[in-house]
């Protein structure tokens, strides 16, 4: 949840303290040796993950889409109607700004034009959104609740823990409990059912030892019927949303040659603010020799335009502003990378971001009033027909209304400014 101001403040404090004291961890673990990192697997659950920076053919192993029978009221039409077109959704990190994406998706669903996505990916706050959207409109009420009902104390214990006493400055057990409240046995069974239909749900984390992104096919985890499937599913969501330094990293046990090791996984946004396999690498089992047409929807839970702010000369203000600027520009870099590949593949690129005209502010992270206002803004945009941005900042292309992909209408002035 990379843009939460108070969380980033304590993360900056942790980083500076660590540089000054260089203290050793009080919680030793068996680290996977470098020579074995590509062989590490979870016992009884093979082929459930891949490096996020792996070659396209490796990513394709997690992106095999079957021809599926559409559910009633899906945007593609009647039940049983087939389409060669892929609908792909990628949801970024953003901390409490995740309320925007949640609102947009629920509003889009209530408008009756939200498609059933063949592939859904999520990072950080997006990882907490993606499973609900993957399961469809029946989970929209729960998605709204996650991003409008809870406060900071429901996400983490704001009491600061000295860096010498652990691997994070705050206690993330409230978020762990919140995930467990929604992700139960029935939730897992529903995920497994959709994966069997051929749809894919990928969640991104960061392997700290390797400094590399990891993509988890959590649908395959759900299908495994392994006794540890539910705890692992929850751990992956927690890890993807765990800001390193502020939240403790999540330890995941793996095995190599009958020996058990522990990996450390943190916020997927550390390595990728948003990700999606190239549509050209996705394997269609029903049309294996045919290139699939694709519509790609990216929700960036943040603003992509520069935001002026008078920065105080203190070290915390400077550090906080620098980190938030770094994250914003990292996310824009991710968008350019995805856009370039989409252009090569002929993929219909659609981007949503918080408008530069949204002015609500908050004094601390996860304030209910702020999140409710942002959710309402997203919901209104989704319900009325969001004018999707057709390119990252600096590339002038007209937005198109949600659900009307042949429109050539000019964008509103506020969104035109975001494209410049």
Which pair of structure tokens corresponds to residue 58?
């490796």
Question: Taking 90 as the threshold, does the pLDDT of residue 10 lie above it?
Answer: no
pLDDT, one tens digit per residue, over 217-254 is 999 999 999 999 999 999 999 999 998 878 889 999 99
pLDDT recorded at residue 169:
73
Rounded mean pLDDT of 184-213? 96
Could you say which DSSP state residue 34 is in? G
Distance in angstroms between the alpha carbons of the first and the last residue of the chain: 27
Could you say which DSSP state residue 188 is in? H
Asked whether residue 267 is assigned to any structural domain, the reply reads yes
Asked whether residue 23 is assigned to any structural domain, the reply reads no
The whole model's pTM is what?
Answer: 0.85
Question: Taking 60 as the threshold, does the pLDDT of residue 345 lie above it?
Answer: yes
Which residues are tagged catalytic? 124, 267
User: pLDDT grade, residue 109 (50/70/90)?
Assistant: very high
The helix/strand/coil state of 369 is: helix
pLDDT recorded at residue 114:
97
Range picked from 144-148, 153-157, 326-330 for highest mean pLDDT: 144-148
Asked whether residue 391 is assigned to any structural domain, the reply reads no
pLDDT, one tens digit per residue, over 44-102 is 898 899 999 988 777 766 666 665 555 555 444 433 344 567 899 999 999 999 999 99
Q: Which positions ≥6 away from 125 have C-beta within 8 Å?
A: 1, 91, 92, 93, 94, 95, 96, 97, 98, 101, 241, 301
Asked whether residue 258 is assigned to any structural domain, the reply reads yes
Least confident of 131-135, 273-277, 287-291: 287-291
**What's the domain count of the chain?**
1
How many Å apart are CA 406 and CA 420, to the nearest integer? 22
pLDDT recorded at residue 24:
43
Instruction: Give me the residue label for tokens 């629920």.
Output: 106
Asked whether residue 274 is assigned to any structural domain, the reply reads yes
pLDDT recorded at residue 66:
63
pLDDT recorded at residue 395:
82
Which pair of structure tokens corresponds to residue 227?
């006794």
Question: Taking 50 as the threshold, does the pLDDT of residue 16 lie above it?
Answer: no
pLDDT recorded at residue 125:
94
User: pLDDT grade, residue 350 (50/70/90)?
Assistant: very high
Asked whether residue 411 is assigned to any structural domain, the reply reads no
Asked whether residue 333 is assigned to any structural domain, the reply reads yes
Cα dihedral 94, 98, 99, 105 sign: positive
Containing structural domain, residue 115: 34-66+84-384
Instruction: Give me the residue label for tokens 């673990």.
Output: 29
The CATH code of the domain that includes 156 is 3.40.1090.10
Rounded mean pLDDT of 19-30? 56
pLDDT recorded at residue 144:
97
Asked whether residue 356 is assigned to any structural domain, the reply reads yes
pLDDT recorded at residue 298:
97
Question: Taking 90 as the threshold, does the pLDDT of residue 353 lie above it?
Answer: yes
């Amino acid at each position: 949840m990379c843009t939460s101001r108070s969380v980033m403040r304590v993360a900056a404090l942790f980083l500076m303290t660590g540089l000054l004291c260089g203290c050793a961890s009080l919680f030793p673990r068996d680290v996977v040796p470098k020579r074995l990192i590509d062989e590490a697997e979870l016992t009884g659950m093979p082929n459930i993950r891949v490096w996020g920076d792996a070659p396209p053919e490796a990513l394709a192993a997690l992106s095999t889409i079957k021809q599926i029978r559409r559910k009633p009221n899906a945007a593609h039409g009647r039940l049983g109607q087939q389409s060669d077109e892929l609908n792909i959704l990628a949801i970024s990190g953003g901390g409490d700004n995740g309320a925007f994406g949640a609102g947009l998706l629920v509003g889009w669903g209530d408008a009756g034009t939200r498609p059933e996505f063949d592939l859904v990916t999520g990072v950080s706050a997006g990882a907490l959104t993606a499973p609900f959207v993957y399961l469809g409109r029946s989970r929209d009420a729960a998605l709204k609740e996650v991003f409008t009902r809870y406060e900071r104390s429901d996400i983490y214990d704001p009491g600061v823990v000295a860096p010498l006493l652990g691997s994070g400055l705050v206690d993330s057990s409230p978020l762990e409990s919140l995930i467990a409240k929604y992700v139960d046995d029935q939730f897992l069974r529903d995920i497994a059912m959709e994966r069997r239909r051929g749809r894919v749900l990928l969640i991104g984390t960061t392997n700290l030892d390797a400094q590399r992104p990891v993509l988890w096919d959590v649908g395959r985890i759900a299908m495994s019927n392994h006794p540890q499937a539910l705890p692992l599913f929850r751990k992956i969501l927690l890890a993807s949303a765990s800001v390193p330094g502020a939240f403790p990293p999540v330890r995941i046990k793996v095995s190599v040659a009958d020996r058990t090791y522990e990996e450390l996984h943190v916020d997927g946004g550390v390595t990728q603010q948003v990700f999606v396999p190239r549509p050209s690498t996705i394997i269609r089992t029903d049309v294996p020799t045919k290139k699939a047409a694709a519509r790609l929807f990216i929700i960036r839970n943040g603003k992509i335009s520069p935001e002026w702010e008078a920065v105080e000369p203190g070290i915390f203000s400077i550090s906080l502003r620098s980190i938030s600027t770094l994250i914003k520009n990292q996310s824009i870099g991710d968008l350019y990378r995805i856009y370039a590949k989409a252009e090569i593949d002929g993929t219909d690129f659609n981007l949503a971001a918080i408008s530069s005209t949204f002015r609500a502010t908050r004094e601390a992270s996860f304030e209910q009033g702020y999140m409710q206002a942002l959710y309402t803004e997203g919901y209104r945009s989704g319900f009325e027909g969001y004018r999707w941005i057709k390119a990252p900042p600096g590339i002038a292309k007209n937005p198109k209304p949600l659900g009307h992909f042949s429109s050539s209408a000019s964008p509103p002035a506020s969104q035109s400014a975001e494209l410049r």
